[in-house]
Amino acid sequence: MLRDADADVRKHYYDPNLHGVDWQSRVQEARNNIAKAQSPSDAVSEIAALLDSLHDSHTYLVLPPRIYVHDYGFQMEMFGDRCFVIRVRAGSDAEKKGLKPGDEIVAVDEFPISRRNFPRIVYILNVLQPQPGLRLTLVDKDANKRQLEVAAKQQPARITQYFAHQGINVRVRDVEAMRLLMRARYFEKGDDLLVVKLPEFYFSALEVDHIISKMKAHKGVVLDLRGNPGGRADTLQRILGGLFEHELKICDRVSRTSTKSVSVTGRPRDSFTGRLAVLIDSESASASEILARVIQLEKRGFIVGDRSSGQVMEAERYAHAIDVDSPVEYAVAVTDADLVMADGKTLERVGVTPDILILPTSQDIAAKRDPALAKAAGLVGRNISPEEAGTILPNEESDQFQTTLSLND
């Protein structure tokens, strides 16, 4: 695995100088540490750490699915520089121990949580080294700290059922359930307001055209990209084409061998031209960040919410397999292009700073109020309260899928 990761980065990484990292020394260090590793998880973590040394959001190790998964029973998210519990699964040990939405977490086990290391903590605890339980350090409004031990529920992964009798039916149901969760969702209030929730950018051309058609029937639209991890470039370009009447430049794609301008053709007679607000948060990533920044640079609408994640590159996955008792498949995701916006700046590790910064408080999360959506709706012409906004397009969960630490893993 180390040899594959080394070769993939050397051959495909968009910057042949690897940002000045002494890659050969890093690879040798990883090789030495793997030789002394106490477990397969520790050994694999060395390869992940090697890739992480490039400080690149889109270069990482993709491990094969685990036979058993750890359901921690809660989800947390960064809001500004603070981490809050946003959801607790009913019946979980976390709920029994008193963990509630709105609780602020300042550390998980020995890791203090910051906006910078949050994705790494999630990756370690969900992917590299799942734990049987977590020690959470919580802080209340008076800055008093307390610790809470929560046990994870270990259970067979859904994928293990795919190979059993009638497993194909289980897989089909899972695919359909995920497709339902990832569909575009709408909330309408007359012809004044349409809220469009896009969980990701994996829509066909016909689906995008349907979304734009729905938008055109309203005077004001709130495009909710909170939690959206990105997706396909063609989906992004088609959505942007439906929001402008003219051709515009999206970015420059800077690869290992060339720089290519990426533009989109607008729809002079078939675009949405009404009032627009775009919602983003700390988990809006990649294509969703690009869309928000284009809207901002073109002064097409308002960007509302929290600063986005700053994970904006293009990558390719290179598949590999090793034979143990049976073939074990894994992949190395390698960034093959940087994306430089029309203003000459990159969003990687920077993110999109909203025009109007609105962060929910602990009390807002606990009471299911949504001040960001309420503000965005007002900007496009329809006033709603944070309480009403919190009831619009509530989170949908399927019990088929385990609760991990974050929405976007």
87-141 per-position pLDDT tens digit:
999 999 999 999 999 999 999 998 999 999 999 999 999 999 999 999 999 999 8
pLDDT tens figures, 150-205: 999 998 888 878 777 778 888 888 888 888 889 999 999 999 999 999 999 999 99
CA distance linking residue 169 with residue 295, whole number of Å: 42
Q: Is the pLDDT of residue 324 over 80?
A: no
8-state DSSP, 307: -
**Residue 400 confidence class, pLDDT cut points 50, 70, 90:** very low
The separation between CA 282 and the C-alpha centre of its own chain, rounded to angstroms, equals 8
Q: Once rounded to an integer, what is the mean pLDDT over residues 222-239? A: 97
Lowest mean pLDDT among 31-40, 166-175, 211-220: 166-175
DSSP code string of 175-186: HHHHHHHTS-EE
Sign of CA dihedral 355, 356, 357, 362: negative
What integer pLDDT is reported at residue 397 of this predicted model? 63
CA distance linking residue 112 with residue 135, whole number of Å: 11
Q: Once rounded to an integer, what is the mean pLDDT over residues 63-80? A: 92
Domains annotated for the chain, with CATH where assigned, are: 2-55 (no CATH), 68-158 (2.30.42.10), 183-313+336-389 (3.90.226.10)
What integer pLDDT is reported at residue 171 of this predicted model? 80
| Average pLDDT of the chain, as a whole number | 93
What integer pLDDT is reported at residue 110 of this predicted model? 86
Q: Which residue shows structure tokens 């909170």? A: 226
CA distance linking residue 199 with residue 11, whole number of Å: 33
What integer pLDDT is reported at residue 239 of this predicted model? 98
Q: Is the pLDDT of residue 398 over 60?
A: no
What are phi and psi for residue 7, nearest 5 degrees? -65, -40
What integer pLDDT is reported at residue 18 of this predicted model? 97
Q: Is the pLDDT of residue 401 over 70?
A: no
What are phi and psi for residue 153, nearest 5 degrees? -95, 115
Q: Which residue shows structure tokens 């938008």? A: 215
What integer pLDDT is reported at residue 316 of this predicted model? 96
What integer pLDDT is reported at residue 285 of this predicted model? 98
8-state DSSP, 14: S
What integer pLDDT is reported at residue 167 of this predicted model? 81
pLDDT tens figures, 242-289: 999 999 999 999 999 999 999 999 999 899 999 999 999 999 999 999
Cβ 395 vs Cβ 101: under 8 Å: no
Nearest 5 degrees, angle CA 217-CA 222-CA 223?
A: 100
Q: Once rounded to an integer, what is the mean pLDDT over residues 378-391? A: 97
Give percent of the chain with pLDDT exceeding 70: 96
CA distance linking residue 33 with residue 36, whole number of Å: 5
Nearest 5 degrees, angle CA 211-CA 212-CA 214?
A: 65
Q: Once rounded to an integer, what is the mean pLDDT over residues 327-352? A: 96
CA distance linking residue 225 with residue 179, whole number of Å: 17
